[in-house]
Amino acid sequence: MVRTTRGGSRTVKGRYLRLAATGAALSLTAAALTGCGTVASLTGDNEVTLRVVAADYGDNPQNSSAGYWKDLAAGFRKDHPGVKVEVSIYSWSEVDAKVAEMVKAGKAPDIAQIGAYADYAAAGKLYTAEELLSVSTEADFLAPLADAGKIRRVQYGMPFVASTRLLFYNEKLLTDAGVLPKDAKGGWQPKSWADLEAAAKKLKAAGVATPFALPLGREEAQAETMMWMLAGGGGYTDNEEAYAIDSPDNVKTFEFLRDKMVGQGLTGALEPAKTDRQTAFDAFTRGEVGMLNGHPTLLKQAAEKGVKFGMVAMPTEDGTEHPTMGVADWVMAFKNGHRKESGKFLDYLYEAKNVTAFTNKYDLLPVTTTGYRAMDASTGGPATQLKTFLQALPNARLYPVGKKSWAGVSEDVKQNIGKTVQPGGQPAKVLDDIAEKARKADAQ
């Protein structure tokens, strides 16, 4: 299941995609699944072996990412007979730790497709994108995603796949509550938080168990938090990429949630601080939730349960347009002496046909301009449903993944942000505490 990549050319805000996988780690060569393989080495007089570690985006053995990487390695091998590619596939619950272990043991893979790159870049262990990629490939990344892969304006992290977030709503519940006219063909188009509050009140009056689901539990509190911050005109960082978690806009955002949404009983009986995202998703697919923020995985989950739903951009505090949240996972290449071969493989990985093959398989968004155009031009299948998410991607904001401190800040948010919306909660104090720790960590 997914555990769920801003606008402007310099701001850095995100990460998300966490498609939990099952089963033991899988490995594959260009020809077939094999053992884990050795660290990249010369095999024979001229042949080079590249070792790649990647995350599994499948949720069962039948849709494991192993098949994609096997085909990719085989296709690359045909055009580059002097380079052998061995790929080890690990579940999301272990892939980051596996790579960390390899690096610590002095056996880093040549290429890793994992959740974060900043620590390795800061330690001087990664090639830059400029050192690896052709000019055309490097220029093809969507600007906000390329920017999120930079540290001090130098790109080390290459985005792999992306996603954005939208507001989902249950068409039947909103129609029955009088929010959505029965003959409405254009769907519901809320613009401001006042629209959101008014709709939630009607849903509550109609007996809907959870008018608006607000998951601020540990699973993905950092994501729900960022969506609301952006809609309120704030965010985790300011335009100079410094932490601004305690900004006045962010404080106002959580005061609204505390007083207008939770305080008026519009978020249901479950305490937001104890509600995980998947719990909210499950309730939505059972027809118990009127509205919630969601990512592309909810498309299939809701459709499979027969829930008719609509999707719109997250309403903002004042009704004016603000960036949505985006998320991405990352590819990086370690300095193992195979810069040229790694670069060629990455150029191949980012060809439009290979990008769309993966994103279509897992209902995710492409990270390149060519992949974006290919999906936007397609008709039918998953691409049609994903286009609403796709249209938000070029101007989406991401977590500040270029900061080494982000992992700790994200954990702090998960543990404490729910306190802001509890009865008597103090958003200003909670946000100030998180911000102070974030700035100290960032300065180390």
The CA-CA-CA angle for residues 29, 92, 292, to 5°, reads 135
Determine the pLDDT at residue 184.
65
Residue 369: how many other CB atoms lie within 10 Å: 15
For domain 26-164+326-395, give the fold.
D-Maltodextrin-Binding Protein; domain 2 (3.40.190)
What is the C-alpha separation between 123 and 106, in angstroms, rounded? 13
DSSP 317: S
Residue 200, judged by CB atoms within 10 A of its CB (0-12, 13-18, 19+), counts as buried
Report the SS3 class of residue 55.
Answer: strand
Determine the pLDDT at residue 236.
97
Cβ within 8 Å of residue 65, ≥6 positions away: 21, 54, 55, 56, 57, 58, 89, 358
Q: Where are the domains of the chain?
A: 26-164+326-395, 166-323+405-443
Determine the pLDDT at residue 381.
60
What are 418's two structure tokens?
Answer: 């729910």
Determine the pLDDT at residue 45.
54
Determine the pLDDT at residue 62.
85
Determine the pLDDT at residue 69.
97
DSSP 261: I
Domain 166-323+405-443 superfamily per CATH: Periplasmic binding protein-like II (3.40.190.10)
Determine the pLDDT at residue 345.
98
What is the C-alpha separation between 171 and 176, in angstroms, rounded? 9
E strands of 228-288, at which residues? none
Residue 46: how many other CB atoms lie within 10 Å: 9
From first to last of the 444 residues of the chain, give the pLDDT tens digit. 333 333 333 333 333 333 333 333 444 443 333 333 333 344 445 789 999 999 998 877 888 999 999 999 999 999 999 999 999 999 987 898 899 999 999 999 999 999 889 989 989 999 999 999 999 999 999 988 999 999 989 999 999 999 899 999 999 999 999 999 876 677 899 999 999 999 999 999 999 999 999 999 988 899 999 999 999 999 999 988 899 999 999 999 999 999 999 999 999 998 999 999 989 999 999 999 999 999 888 988 898 899 999 999 999 999 999 988 988 999 999 999 999 999 999 999 999 999 989 988 888 899 999 988 888 887 766 567 788 888 888 778 899 988 888 888 998 999 999 999 999 999 999 999 999 999 999 998
Q: What is the pTM for the complete model shown?
A: 0.77
CATH fold match for the domains 26-164+326-395 and 166-323+405-443:
yes
Determine the pLDDT at residue 380.
66
Please name which of 21, 31, 157 lies closest in space to residue 89, comparing C-alpha atoms.
21
Determine the pLDDT at residue 346.
98
Residue 123: CA count within 13 A, CB half-sphere: 11
